[in-house]
Structure 1
Amino acid sequence: MTIGGEYDAVILAGGQARRLGGLDKPGLSVGARAMIEGVVLAVSGARRVIVVGPERPLPGVFFAREDPPGGGPVPALRAGLREATAPQVVLLAGDLPYLRAGHVAELLHASDTGGGGVVTVDDGGREQWLLSLWPAETLRRALDGYTGRSLKGLLGPLIHARVALSGRPWFDCDTMDDLEEARMNVLNEWTALACQELGIDPARVDRDLILDLTKEVAHGVARPAAPLTAYLLGLAEGAGTAPEDAVARITALAKNWGAATTETLTES
């Protein structure tokens, strides 16, 4: 049994993502997986994982649909709650790239010690309704008499505790800038872990310099040349070439790739 007792997870993943041009926001990738896959992974301890939105290839997940589709978070919660069987419900958005199982455990622990509804607050103290936990029967009773469209109006009176979770698990991706930030965070984490594994001081890694170089090579030469160039850069540094010098020389070569290949072909 998980900390704080058994729970179901209701994940709202049927929004229209207007600020992302109508893209399938939960299906967009951050790192190696779609955001919705990461959220489902974070609640792997749930009795049931219920996704309210279009069906996706997510093994073991129950799907529900609000009526009408895209009708908003309150109808979506109502639809998801109909599929719930556990005494507690963790309510989540489908686009939380920083959410981990440990954050869900913190919510469950807060519910176990305080009783009642628990809502996460962000670093500005604002309630994040789509990262919260509620007694299922309390939610059902509240929904029975609620005619509004706002989660705040529904859930606000039910709060027993507010918690500030470690990290930024409440961060969602409403815009392309948000999505880019989340993807860069994955890159930061990978860089730190790779440096640790290889015994490299992360301070020696000029990430932006390398990314600019590989972007130049990918656009000016060919995509597969970018990772190969990064490897060659490492070899050059190992042989004693200053990284800045090596980057400058390779960047110049990439920018003049057309002329360089013409000369090479002519000479051959």
Structure 2
Amino acid sequence: MTAHQPPPAVAEYDAVVLAGGAARRLGGADKPGVRVGGRALLDRVLAACADARATVVVADPRPTARPVTWAREEPPGGGPVAALDAGLRHTTAEDVVVLSADLPFLGEMTVRRLLGALRTSGADGVLLTDADHRDQPLVAAYRASALRRELAACAAESGGATGLPLRRLTAGLELTRVPDAVASFDCDTWDDIATARARIREHGHVLDEWISAVKDELGIDLDVDTGLLLDLARDAAHGVARPAAPLTTFLVGYAAARAGGGPEAVAEASRKAAALAVRWAEESAAAEPDAAEDAAPDTRPDAG
């Protein structure tokens, strides 16, 4: 497994997450709270925009893994344009990421890719397109000034934002499109939920998904070199004993916390433990011939 590399830093931005839909195709279920990989869909999206300066969720308040600002369109259920208008009122950054709350495969790298494209394109917004080449305006980064301009124009023309479709808003924007069939995948039906749950358990995804879920559950916001930890666990298991692997990684975490935490503390504690495991294995290998010689019967003629 390759080591986890944190995504490059980006300039400040705000995020608006729309989470107040009726979820009719899910039978009215609480879609933002549906769990995929042990985490609520809303929490998965919030993790993807965790480095936003401010995150506004347009919905009724609920417990979330990360602190957010809550907003609501008036009247509630007024549609995505009205919800976006309500959320945007709580933002101040010039760049705004706009997301729906049902994106199980959205990651931090995709958010940063959208923002990077926005800052180099000169467009009003950058959005993803899905597997069928359809625009996904709720997986996008926009210039807030352009959104406010078009929101005001739409409201003036229609007497308000309630009930307006998103395509009415985006029609007036200059947009750049980025194809991404995975990150744009949204969960509208129970079949979509089942597909998402199955995919994250595939071999190539399950470990990263599990680590992300554990960090959210424990309230840990820490990027570490998972490859280094896996190598350490392997060395401890092979060079000492299989139960040494989980116990050693636990002790590394404890030592790193005592040293102040952070990726550097984890890496240093891992280095020390890995070196010890190698020395242990070398000693064991060197002792084995001696042990075999001691155990062998003495067959010399004058023995005894």
For 2:11, the equivalent position in structure 1 comes to 5
For 1:232, the equivalent position in structure 2 comes to none
For 1:29, the equivalent position in structure 2 comes to 35
* Cα distance in 1, alignment partners of residues 131 and 29 from structure 2: 28
* Cα distance in 2, alignment partners of residues 110 and 13 from structure 1: 25
* SS of residue paired to 2:11: coil
For the pair 1:179 / 2:193, whether they are aligned, the reply is: yes
* SS of residue paired to 2:117: helix
Amino acid at match of 1:90: V
- Report percent identity of matched pairs: 45
- Note the residue ranges of structure 2 that are not aligned, 5 or more in a row: 1-7, 209-226, 235-304
For 1:105, the equivalent position in structure 2 comes to 112
* Cα distance in 1, alignment partners of residues 205 and 109 from structure 2: 22
For the pair 1:168 / 2:182, whether they are aligned, the reply is: yes
* Cα distance in 1, alignment partners of residues 167 and 11 from structure 2: 25
* SS of residue paired to 2:85: helix
Is this contact kept in 2: 1:3–1:108, CA < 8 A?
A: no
For 1:71, the equivalent position in structure 2 comes to 78
- What do the CA deviations read for 1:1-41 (whole angstroms, capped 9, x no partner)? x7553211100000000010101101100002101001000
- What do the CA deviations read for 1:110-137 (whole angstroms, capped 9, x no partner)? 0111023111111221100110111111
* Cα distance in 1, alignment partners of residues 16 and 206 from structure 2: 33
For 1:95, the equivalent position in structure 2 comes to 102
For 1:212, the equivalent position in structure 2 comes to none
Is this contact kept in 1: 2:71–2:87, CA < 8 A?
A: yes
Instruction: Provide runs of 4+ in structure 1 moved above 6 Å.
Output: 196-199
Counterparts of 1:171-210 in structure 2 under 5 Å? 171-189=185-203, 193=207
Q: What is the deviation of 1:188?
A: 1.1
- Note the residue ranges of structure 1 that are not aligned, 5 or more in a row: 200-268
- What do the CA deviations read for 1:44-78 (whole angstroms, capped 9, x no partner)? 11011100001111242000001111111011001
Is this contact kept in 2: 1:108–1:133, CA < 8 A?
A: yes
For 1:38, the equivalent position in structure 2 comes to 44
Amino acid at match of 1:172: D
Amino acid at match of 2:199: N
* Cα distance in 2, alignment partners of residues 157 and 141 from structure 1: 9
* Cα distance in 1, alignment partners of residues 118 and 55 from structure 2: 19
For the pair 1:129 / 2:137, whether they are aligned, the reply is: yes
* SS of residue paired to 2:119: helix
* Cα distance in 1, alignment partners of residues 174 and 183 from structure 2: 19
Number of residues of Structure 1 aligned to a counterpart in Structure 2: 197
Amino acid at match of 2:63: P
For 1:256, the equivalent position in structure 2 comes to none
* Cα distance in 1, alignment partners of residues 91 and 127 from structure 2: 19
Which of 171, 191, 194 is residue 156 of structure 1 equivalent to?
171
Is this contact kept in 1: 2:60–2:72, CA < 8 A?
A: yes
* Cα distance in 1, alignment partners of residues 134 and 205 from structure 2: 31
Point out the structure with max Rg over C-alpha: 2
Amino acid at match of 1:65: R
Amino acid at match of 2:58: V
Amino acid at match of 1:123: A
* Cα distance in 2, alignment partners of residues 15 and 192 from structure 1: 29
Counterparts of 1:231-242 in structure 2 under 5 Å? none
* SS of residue paired to 1:187: coil
Q: What is the deviation of 1:190?
A: 6.8
TM-score normalised per structure 1: 0.68
For 2:62, the equivalent position in structure 1 comes to 56
* Cα distance in 2, alignment partners of residues 185 and 132 from structure 1: 23
Is this contact kept in 1: 2:18–2:99, CA < 8 A?
A: yes
Is this contact kept in 2: 1:4–1:112, CA < 8 A?
A: no
Q: What is the deviation of 1:192?
A: 6.0
